[in-house]
Structures are given as C-alpha cells and as structure tokens.
Chain A
Amino acid sequence: MRFAILLLLVFVVPSRPASGQIDLAGEWSPRVYNTHVDIGDYTGIPLNEDGRLRAEAWHPDQIDLPENLCRPHPIDHGLRVSVSQLRITPELDTETRQPVGLRLHVAWQEPEQVIYLDGRPHPSANAPHKWSGFSTGRWERNTLVYTTTHLKEAYLTRAGVPKSPKATVTTRVHRYGNLLTIVFIINDPAYLTQPYIRESSWIADPNQVIPPFPCEMSPDGTIVPAGKVPSFLPGRNDVLSEFATEYGIPLEAALGGAETLYPEYIKKMKTMKVVPRTTTDHFRRAQ
C-alpha cells in the first residue's frame, strides 16, 4: 500500500495542470505614452469611412458641453489618455465574501471596471450599456484575458475618433515582475475595418495614492451657448489638415485606414502629395 501511495505522489501530483495565475492586485503607476492628441491625427487607426466622417465632425468645444464636463471615459480609453494611475483589487461577492473577480479603478473621473472570473454570462444584448461595460475573463497561463461588452458610445482618441456602442474590447493583462502590460484589442464593426490593437504599461508602485476626482458642473454653465452643439459639417472642417501639414505627412495617410498600418505603405506615401510645411517644430508644444 505504501508503494501505491508513493506512486500516487510521483505520478498524479506532478501531472495536475498548473494553475499558475499571477497576482495582479495592487497600485500601478502609468508609463503611458500617448499620441493622437491633434485634430486630424487618425494615424495608425483602421478607420472605415463612417468612422472617419464622425471623427471629422468632432469639434474640440464639445468637451465643454454641460453633459460632457463630467463624462467619464470607458476604462479602456481612460487607461490610455488621461491621468491613468491604476488600482487593481479583488472583487468579492457582497453576501458570501468569496472572490468573484477583479476590480479596476482609474484616477481620472474614477471609472471602475469589474472583471468577473466566476463564469457568469454576459447580459442580454438589450441590457443597458455603461461607461465601463460588462466584463468577464479567464486566465491563459499567467495572462488575464477579459472581454468587455455593453459599452456606451465613446472615443478612441482625445481628438474625437469615435467608438460605437457595438464595439467590444478584448483585453490581455500580463505581469512581468513589477511591470504590467495591458493589450487592448478593440473590435468595432461600425467604425473600424479590423481590430485595433494597442498596448500600455504600468509600474508597480505600492505607495501610490490615487486622489479623489470630484467633478461638478459649474453653476455658471460653460463657454458653449445653451442649445448649441459645436461640430463641423461634412467637408467643412477647416483644421482637419493642420496635423498633416505641420508634420509633413500626406493628408490621406494622416486620416488612417488599415492600409496605413503596414510597412508597404511607406513606399506608397512617397507617391503622395504633401502640402508644403508651415513649421518644423509643431511638436514642441507637447514637450
């Protein structure tokens, strides 16, 4: 019998599948380098015509609309474009106090996202959409992989490139020691011709303190007159080409599209018209 027990230990125990998931909980300090801050900078985004049309209609004064002053970003966008200190904590069932997933908290506008890891299904397609949607995940070896649905319409960039409520986001979270890398795979059948992949990283920072982010609408209103929604009508965006002109990029290339993502496009750009530059230090305002 002892021999049998020994064999059990030798063969069965090592043969069990390794669980191997990694601990993601903690405070994470952003090392997020973000471009796409200029109107007309849609570079590297696989936009379709509808997405481009919506982006071109966006006016920066829309940020000052009363309903937009305290509008949060969805967390996949908030983690990229704003003050993006990140806190990850276990999410416990309110009654049993058993873990059911993870909760992400981001600094700017304090969006929260719960990633359920307990196998629950996504809600019906008709369920309300929220800023951070509904997320369920699983582990692939040490990588947390989760899918977010039921997102509200939002933006892909700070300069008005849209993301539709049909979009879903698959997110991969990988911890390399004290480095956290998150890969976002955005699939938007309304505005993109193919999934849009982008990555960001954070550094473990146990002493990080994320301050509260109170946001109130000013009782005096905003600079935008009541009842007005700033926008550009199709073909009337008179600042659309500024980014391309100032960086010496063909306008067609600056407006994105799947073809522009690949190395072959470098040759094609050499055949395109580039408007004479008005400056060569446009970038300095961002330094």
Chain B
Amino acid sequence: MQPRRVALLVAALSLPISAHVAAQGAQAAPGAASGTARAAAPYDTTGYWVSEVTEKWRFRMVVPDKGDYTQVPLNPEGRKIANAWDPARDQASGEACKSYGAAALLQVPGRLHIYWQDDSTLRLDTDSGTQTRLFRFGGSPPPNAAPSWQGHSVAMWGGAEPRDRRDGQGGPVQDASGRLVVAGAQRKEPDHLKVVTTRMRPGYLQKNGVPYSGDALLEEYFDVFSDPYTRSTWLVMTTVVTDPRYLVEPLIMHAHFKKLPDASGWDPTPCRADEPR
C-alpha cells in the first residue's frame, strides 16, 4: 500500500473517534472557544438548580438551637464562639451574611443559577442571601486580595491528576477494549469540578453561629449525573472545610441540587441572621 493511501485510510479511521471526543466537549459548553476551561468542561453545570434537603434537615430547613453543633468537629475555641451566638447582634451589626459565606452557602436551602461569565470564569448565583461566587480557572489568589464572604475561588477540572497511591494492589478497572484488568498506569480524563477557596471573611458553618475562621480552606468537588429512575439531572457536591483555628479535623459536608428547566421559583432574599434562608 502506498504511504499516501495509508495516510488517508488512517486519517479517515481516526476522524470519527476524534470527532466523538470533540463533540463531548462541545456538548458540555456550546459556543465555547477551544482550549478554554469552558470548552474543556466534562459536563454541563450551567442552568438553574434547586436544593433538595434530604440530610441534616433540622440544621438546614430550620434554624438550629444555639449550641447545637452535633456532628461538627469543633475545638473548644470554636464551641465558645458557637455558644455565644446572637443573631440579633449579627443582624444589627451588618453581619447577617455570616451564614451565607462560601463554606456554608450551598448548605442553605435555595436555588442556584450557574453560568459562564466568560470562558474561564464559572459564576454561581444563589437566591438565598443573594450571593455570587466566581470560580476562576487558572491562576491563584492575588496576594493582597481583601477577604470577602465568598473568598477567592480557584477552579479546575479534576480527575486527571497523577494517582496518589499505587501500585499493584489496585481494584479491577476496564481497559480501552472493555476488558477487566487490575488497575495500572492508565490515562485519565477530567471528570469533576474542583474548587479551592481561600481569603474568606470569618463566617458560620451553620445558621446557629458555628464558626469558621478567616484561616479556613474550602475544597469542593462537584459532580453531575442523571438518576436512572426519574432521569432528572443532579448536581452533587462534597465540601471539605479545613480550619485549624476552630476545627479539630476537616469537616465534610454534602449537598445535592436538582436541575430545573427555567428560573421559575427564583426567590431572592437578603441575608438574614435568624432565618433558614
């Protein structure tokens, strides 16, 4: 076979596969410029979402009692602050947004509107507390950025990082041909959104004044999937709050949101120190 023919055959064979891979990205981010974070999205996080509170209901759908920090690994200093919580004082002193800071915002029942502000910034608006978070892909927090309720968030598409524990004892995975093999070094592709947030103003992990400090580090992992029973689309997040000042170990929280067809039900509220949302 002549080299030119071989080249044409190979190119023709590879085109549908390459097109399929490209289409996956295009499906996730229509209209995105190639090579951008938006174009690289493994799935579509944009749209309107409503929280579904199936867990920690009594901490989220009502304002819990003062001193109820069950299941939060507070240290003594953190307990002291939680025990001194005074919502009227927070409201009067302009600190009503303390329970709407980045570390706990997505625990507050409400709706989200997520959209691309530009090709490298994913914006998340909440109707509860009327807050905005900006997930900036690439770069790092500016060294002199002033602390804010929502802090500075650096985003990345995660899942393709080198493995952190190896080797030989891995569980079975499927290789490229679908055959089950024991895990070895394999190429991976991004499959989730990871957001790291710092420079937050001190706030509350719960509505009842359970504190996190300005030293807190917030790591969030977002996944999108369709459930097989209702075919609804869900956004699930795992939140890890590390706070050497008030927590004895990182606090892990979860929340999930159901995708909505439109903005109906969007109900903006101000920050309120004595209301669940």
Residue ranges of A at the interface with B (Cβ–Cβ < 8 Å): 1, 3-4, 7-8, 11-12, 15-26, 31, 33-35, 41, 43-46, 88-91, 98-102, 117-118, 139-143, 145, 147, 170, 172, 174, 176-179, 181, 183, 185, 187, 194-201, 204, 206, 247-249, 253, 260-266, 269, 280-281, 283-284, 286-287
Contacts and interface: CB of A to CB of B under 8 A. Distances in A.
Contacts of A8: 10
A15 B252 CA distance: 38
B191 A20 contact: yes
B7 A4 contact: yes
Contacts of B53: 44, 261-263
B109 A199 contact: no
B61 A197 contact: no
B54 A176 contact: no
Nearest to A180: B238
B109 A197 contact: no
Interface stretch (B12-20, B99-107, B209-217): B12-20
Contacts of A3: 3, 6-7
Nearest to A168: B229
Contacts of B39: none
Contact of B109 (A98, A198, A206, A262): A262
A31 B229 CA distance: 28
Interface string B46-63: 000011111111110110
B161 interface: yes
B202 interface: no
A171 B210 CA distance: 31
Nearest 9 interchain pairs by C-beta = A99-B172, A21-B173, A4-B6, A43-B57, A141-B191, A11-B14, A25-B171, A199-B254, A44-B57
Contacts of A24: 171
B62 A249 contact: yes
B55 A18 contact: no
A153 B240 CA distance: 34
12 contacts: A3-B3, A7-B7, A8-B10, A12-B10, A18-B186, A19-B176, A19-B186, A35-B55, A98-B180, A247-B65, A262-B51, A265-B61
A11 B109 contact: no
A90 B171 contact: yes
B21 interface: yes
Interface in B228-242: 228-230, 234, 236, 238, 240
Given A33-B253, A35-B56, A44-B55, 18 more contacts: A3-B3, A8-B10, A15-B14, A17-B21, A17-B176, A18-B186, A18-B187, A18-B188, A44-B61, A88-B171, A90-B170, A117-B172, A179-B221, A179-B252, A197-B54, A200-B254, A253-B61, A283-B65
Contacts of B52: 197, 261-262
Contacts of A170: 227-229
Contact of A281 (B58, B65, B181, B183): B65
B227 A195 contact: yes
A15 B180 contact: no
B245 interface: no
Interface of B: 1, 3, 6-7, 10-11, 13-14, 17-18, 21, 42, 50-59, 61-62, 64-71, 109-111, 128, 158-159, 161, 163-166, 169-176, 180-183, 186-189, 191-192, 194, 221, 223, 225, 227-230, 234, 236, 238, 240, 252-254, 256, 265, 267, 275-277
B50 A102 contact: no
Nearest to A258: B52
B227 A141 contact: no
A185 B256 CA distance: 12
B228 A261 contact: no
A144 to B, nearest CB: 9
A201 B252 contact: yes
A90 B29 CA distance: 37
Contact of A206 (B163, B165, B228): B165
Contacts of B164: 177-178
Contacts of B175: 19
Nearest to B74: A287
Contacts of A204: 165
Nearest to B65: A280
A136 to B, nearest CB: 13
Tell me which of A3, A176, A181 has the highest count of chain B C-beta atoms within 10 A of its own C-beta.
A176
A201 B171 contact: no
A201 B238 contact: yes
A197 B227 contact: yes
Given A142-B159, A143-B191, A176-B194, A15 B11 contact: no
Contacts of B56: 33, 35
A100 B54 contact: no
